[in-house]
Structure 1
Amino acid sequence: MDLGKDLDNALRYLGFRGRYNWVVFSHLLIFTSAFPAAMTMILVFIISDPESYYCAPPDGFSLNDTIPTSDGNNTNDFDNGCHMYQVHDGILTQNVTSCKHGYEYVYTYGETTIVSEFDLVCDQRLLKDTATTVLMTGLFIGAYPMGQLCDRFGRKIMTFLSILFLSASGVGLAFSHNYYLFVVMWFLIGVFRQGTMIAGFVLLIEMLPPERRALGGSACNMTWGFAVVTLALLAFLIRNWRHLQLVLSVGILVALPFWCIVNESVRWLQSQKRYDDAERTLQKIAKFNRIDAPSKFLQASEKEALAQQTNISGPTEPEKALSTSEELGHTPTLEYSKVNEDNGSQQRTRLTALDLFKTPNLAKNTLILMLDWLAASMTYYGLSLNAANLAGNMYLNFFLLSLVEIPAYVMAYITMEYFGGRKLTTALSLLVAGIACVFTAWIPNTTAYGTDLTKAITTFAMIGKFGISYTWGGIVVYTPEVFPTGVRSAANGLLSGLSRVGAMAAPFIVRLNDVSPYLPLNIFGIIAIVAGGLTFLLPETRNVPLPETLEDGEMMGKILVPPSRDQKAKNLMIKL
């Protein structure tokens, strides 16, 4: 029995361009990629700083009266908006004090943000920066448990529950009446955004045969790019942050009626030993596509699978450590049986992300991908923060910075599918991004002869942004193809959470510019270069069936096809 091959062939038979794939593919791209992307990147507009702000004057006085212009020695020492001349008993004095009557804000485009609503300026400015950290903390904390829940309860239910709670958190954010309620809702948005994207992405990838997985992952990346480009237009049209948040939070609820159409991942059903449910799901998809289905897609029922697993010859040697056994009538769970060779007893252990580190090859692959995700996130956010100083219209700048990602994702798909494969795409793009960062750091503003080199600096910075976006285009497709089904979502959650550590570290690394302007981009560049070099040690996964068991994951890179896909007796030790 080779359920992996049976399933891949069944998915090919059902047709990538079938009605079911078009409907579900579009649903997942829109509601588990586009909306979560917009609900994350809206942060740029929610916490944007005003052009200027001043202490609000008391009644009977104007800004010209109360704004300090000198402390007696240096002009404009107090024009930062945090101080004013004190008014005592209706008389204006020359004593300087902090703002006593609130603030007045000047926004170029008439927008509203939490900075002006909650007065997050002057001695409260740290709270504005904390809001960003809270969001990233939610993304970080939510990644691993959401991945585990997705593996435990299924991709479909976690996708729709996450969408529902993400919408509720977004509505709560829009109606937050104080800063502390705002950050609580912001944290929950981070948690449930992770659940939506992790569960939705894994569900999408697992419904595709190997040769279509790169297209699926690239479609998610391009959807992210189009979403943030569209967000720039929406933010320009809807300049009240509460209204913009409500549009996104209510809009995502359109996903819920699709519950009746979207099916559970057949691969996940197989990992749960629910072979009959998997067969019924394939039959439903065939009926939805209006095509004639064979009497049986998968060449084994639950009873037949159990008979093969408990045959009198017992498991082969490579299978012994990860053999599976289910009693009839027992509800399948995400468990594998481990054989105790001393007494023949079996101890059932639930798979977690810790199992990724119990075998040497799988642990190596996991550690390298952890560094890749950390470097990709840190460099992406680091370059974005450095590019934020571009002069001009805020909305146009955001649009252009987002636009550069789309061709990167397109090129990533082309190279993954038709040229270098997953490994080469991820490795080279990290190297390009890292080298571009180092060049950007070391190019002087002017030459010794006075030639302006700012255009060269900008060019290399954009090459770095293109390269790191290219990396994301490859790594999100590459990662789930390396890990077995039983821990795929948990691994994705672990790596996604780790990437948030990189995102949280990026602003602090950028602040090292105060110590030396060479430090930030050199740090980003060196980390990306090291990660890119180590990526060459990973296995290639293009057109290779997804690994189903931990043994499959351990053998990735050692054999041409994971052992559960080929006849293990042959055990072809063909190095990639």
Structure 2
Amino acid sequence: MEDTATAPLLPPYTTAAAATATATVRSIDDAIETYIGSTSAAAQLLPATLVGLAWAFDAQQTFINVFADAMPPWHCTSPSCFSAGDSASPCGQAPSSWNWSLPRHTSTISSWSLECASPALLALPSSSFFAGCLAGGILLATLADSRLGRKNTLVLSSLAMSLSAALTAASPSLVAYAALRFVCGFSRATVGTSALVLSTELVSRRWRDRVSIIGFFCFTMGFLSLPAIAYASRAASWRTLYLWTAVPALVYTAVIYFVIKESPRWLLVRGRKSEAIETIKTMTCGSRTSINSSFSDLALLKYESSYAAEEAGISSSDNIFSSAKRLWENRWAFRRLAALMTVSLGVGMVYYGMPLNLGNLSSNLYLSVALNALTELPSSLLVFFLVGRMNRRSSTLAFTAASCVFSLACAAMGGGGGWAEMAAELAAFFAACTSFSFVLIYSMELFPTCVRNSAIAMVRQALVVGGMVAPVLVAAGRRRRVVSFGVFGLAIGCFGVFAACLPETRGRRMSDTMEEEESKEVEAKRNLVP
């Protein structure tokens, strides 16, 4: 006889037909798949791609310091110039013996006479940006899981990032400039995370893996557009570069606000019943399923999801840190999060450090940045077409190890490697980009809907910590290359080993509650016992 205490709770108006429909829907994921899975590919992919475009503007603000804070070219105006010191830097030369080859306003270094500043001062704007990313990730990460949702978090973050970038163009001093870069980093901390989670929750299982890669493609396009914009404005002020990247981002934010719907999966998990059903109806408008269905199974599921949310500890009275608290309280979730954050720390040092370190190579800066941006394209293509066949754990281990080897090769060449040096740097960056993709995909698959955004945000914060340390290493690497390339290689190689502590997730169905994911963990352990 069935135990009434554990039987599913059904509203009094339940019909036999509706109950039969509900019996076939075992979870929120199954329910959403029943409806969204029948819609056309275009209806699913176009909104998801539009959401993923946020990564392009995120990439521009992440790497804009490569050009805005670059050391401008200079030339000697006196024969005594070459004998005064290192010809690679004007520092130590008599002020009257040299001059900038471009107008002073083309870089922050020439604008504020920072050519002889310490590595810490030169790295201050970039480090401030990543420090802002870290602070924003800690304070804002759980908003998308708790109060605001995926869409509203994306809109507010993108708006604040765009406005702060525009205000940066008016910086009167280095201190104000670094402060505004901190604000920009704080604002954009949740842009990529919210876009990634929202885009994958707007599509069916068939497209979920590939949609997650669309954001990486958009990030590549944003990164690739940056050297083109910088080259076109190379004789203009660095302030112009900030304006050219901020204005399109503002327009994009307005489009997202009016066009994109909230994640129905998040609405159901949060118990926002009617909104979830209306959103799914809008998304499935015109499909055969929506025409032939009264959505009665969703009417029942919304009641059950509210009950499941209550059981999972989710309620409208939760504070913004409730989802993060659940991650720390569950031992299996804490172990996964700690391992992923450790791997992400090493990946972040190479992923953010390599582009910033390009000024330490002997090649042309614009060409080097463009080649690095292009390197992300084959990395994204590799993951896009093979993600369904590649194991997450072994792939992460392999690519972090490869990045380690090539980074150490760059350090060993000592600056005289020419094209071989550039090839090793590109290989190290390619492996780091691919590792980055797998770490984010891994994060989505390892954590349920109720804490997914918070978990991915924390993993990205570890990535940002690596990015915050990288500018200091890059500035120090201008004198000793082993300090930058060598440390990058050792970091990603040693920290990448922690991926071995994670369970394999390829082909698994995504969970919605902590209890559902925990049951999978218990079942997996049971299957390992002979």
TM-score bracket, shorter-length normalisation: 0.7 to 0.9
Q: Helix, strand or coil for the counterpart of 1:27?
A: helix
Matched residue, 2:152: 157
C-alpha change, 1:263 and 1:69, in structure 2 (3 Å) is closer
Q: Deviations over 1:475-531 (max 9, x none)?
A: 222212211222222212212112121122234455776998666545433433344
The reply to whether residue 217 of structure 1 matches residue 242 of structure 2 is: no
Q: Could you tell me which residue of structure 1 aligns to residue 396 of structure 2?
A: 426
When structure 1 is superposed on structure 2, of 238-247 and 156-165 the one drifting more is: 238-247
CA contact (8 A) 1:68 1:78 kept: no
| Cα gap change, 1:387 to 1:123, in 2 (>3 Å) | closer
Give 1:301 shift. Answer: 3.7
CA distance in structure 2 between the aligned counterparts of 1:396 and 1:453, rounded to whole angstroms: 17
- 1:444, 1:177 → 2: CA distance? 38
In structure 2, how many angstroms separate the alpha carbons of the residues matched to 1:334 and 1:202?
A: 23
Between Structure 1 and Structure 2, the one with more strand by share is 1
Written as runs of structure 1 = structure 2, the 5 A alignment for 1:551-562 is 551-559=515-523
Instruction: Quote the Cα distance in structure 2 between the aligned partners of 1:306 and 1:216.
Output: 26
CA distance in 2, matches of 1:461, 1:104: 31
The answer to which of 125-134 and 472-481 deviates more is 125-134
8 A Cα contact 1:221 1:473, kept in partner: yes
Change (3 A) 1:492 1:288: farther
Who is 2:267 aligned against?
269
Bigger RCO (CA 8 Å, 6+ sep): 2
Partner of 1:137: 131
Q: For the residues of structure 2 that align with 1:36 and 1:514, how far apart are their CA atoms?
A: 27
Question: CA–CA distance in 1 between the matches of 2:306 and 2:372?
Answer: 57
1:26 maps to which residue? 49
Cα deviation 1:411-453 (Å, max 9, x = unaligned): 1223322x223333222211222233345555789xxxxxx97
Cα drift, residue 209 of structure 1:
2.8
Which residue is equivalent to 1:95?
none
- Maintained 8 Å contact 1:538/1:557: no
**Residue-by-residue CA offset, 1:266-308 (whole Å, 9 max, x unaligned):** 1111221123321111001122779636211754447742897
**What residue number does 2:433 align with?**
469
Counterpart Cα distance in 1 of 2:221 and 2:302: 47
String of CA shifts for 1:151-190, please: whole Å, max 9, x gaps. 2211111111112212211111112233332222211111
Partner of 2:251: 254
8 A Cα contact 1:221 1:472, kept in partner: no
Once residues 86 and 338 of structure 2 are traced to their aligned partners in structure 1, the CA distance between those partners, rounded to angstroms, is: 51
SS in 2 for 1:146: helix
Greater gyration radius = 1
Q: Which residue of 1 aligns with 2:366?
A: 395
1:263 Cα offset (Å): 0.9
Query: Do the aligned residues in 2 keep the contact of 1:139 with 1:500 (CA within 8 Å)?
Result: yes
Deviation at 1:221, TM superposition (A): 1.0
CA RMSD of aligned residues (A): 3.6
The residue that corresponds to 2:378 in the other structure is 407
CA offsets 1:344-384 (integer angstroms, 9 cap, x no match):
xxxx9962324223233222211110111101111223444
Q: 1:53 to 1:126 in 2, by over 3 A?
A: farther
Question: Are positions 1:237 and 2:236 aligned together?
Answer: no
Aligned to 1:296: 295
Say which of 138, 141, 144 aligns to 1:147: 141
SS of residue matched to 1:395:
helix
Does residue 286 (structure 1) correspond to residue 309 (structure 2)? The answer is no
- TM-score, structure 2 normalization: 0.83
Is 1:527 matched up with 2:510?
A: no
Identity %: 22
Provide closer, same or farther for how the CA distance between residues 426 and 307 of structure 1 changes in structure 2, counting only shifts above 3 A: closer
1:113 partnered with 2:107:
yes
Q: Which runs of 5+ in 2 are unaligned?
A: 1-25
Q: When the two structures are superposed, what TM-score results if normalisation uses the length of structure 1?
A: 0.76
- 1:174 and 2:169 are equivalent in the alignment: yes
> Residues 493-508 of structure 1: matches in 2 within 5 Å?
493-508=457-472
Contact 2:168 2:180 in 1 (8 A): yes
Q: In the alignment, what sits opposite 1:6?
A: 31
CA 129–513 in structure 1, closer or farther in 2 if over 3 Å, else same: closer
How many residues align? The count is: 498
Q: Secondary structure at the match of 2:387?
A: helix
